[in-house]
Amino acid sequence: KEFAAAASLQEERRHSRAVFEDLLSKHESCHEASFGLGRLELLQLRCEDAQRHLEDAVAIVSTEALYVSWLAWAVLLQASRWA
């Protein structure tokens, strides 16, 4: 059961990534897709990639507190890896 849940989660992440990447290929300024990719990357502890996507989202909509919060986590996690 646990393996099936993990496989399902991986498939969901792959699908979400494909959707976000497709959106960005059509609409470069889609902050929701940039945020979505950044969130996916951060949940997989790919902090550098997460930071890049989250910075893109914040650059488009700098007043979105949720985007700024996730960006802060990405920066902190990345910094803690080098400490």
pLDDT: which is higher, 51 or 9? 51
Band of residue 56 on the pLDDT scale cut at 50, 70, 90: very high
Q: Average pLDDT over the chain, rounded to whole?
A: 93
Closest among 36, 12, 40, 10 to 23, alpha carbons compared: 36
**Radius of gyration over alpha carbons of the chain, in Å?**
14
C-alpha distances (whole Å) from 40 to each of 26, 73, 83 are 20, 13, 24
Rounded to two decimals, what is the model's pTM?
0.87
For residues 38 and 53, the answer to whether their CB atoms sit within 8 Å is yes
For residues 35 and 54, the answer to whether their CB atoms sit within 8 Å is yes
Average pLDDT, integer, range 75-81: 90
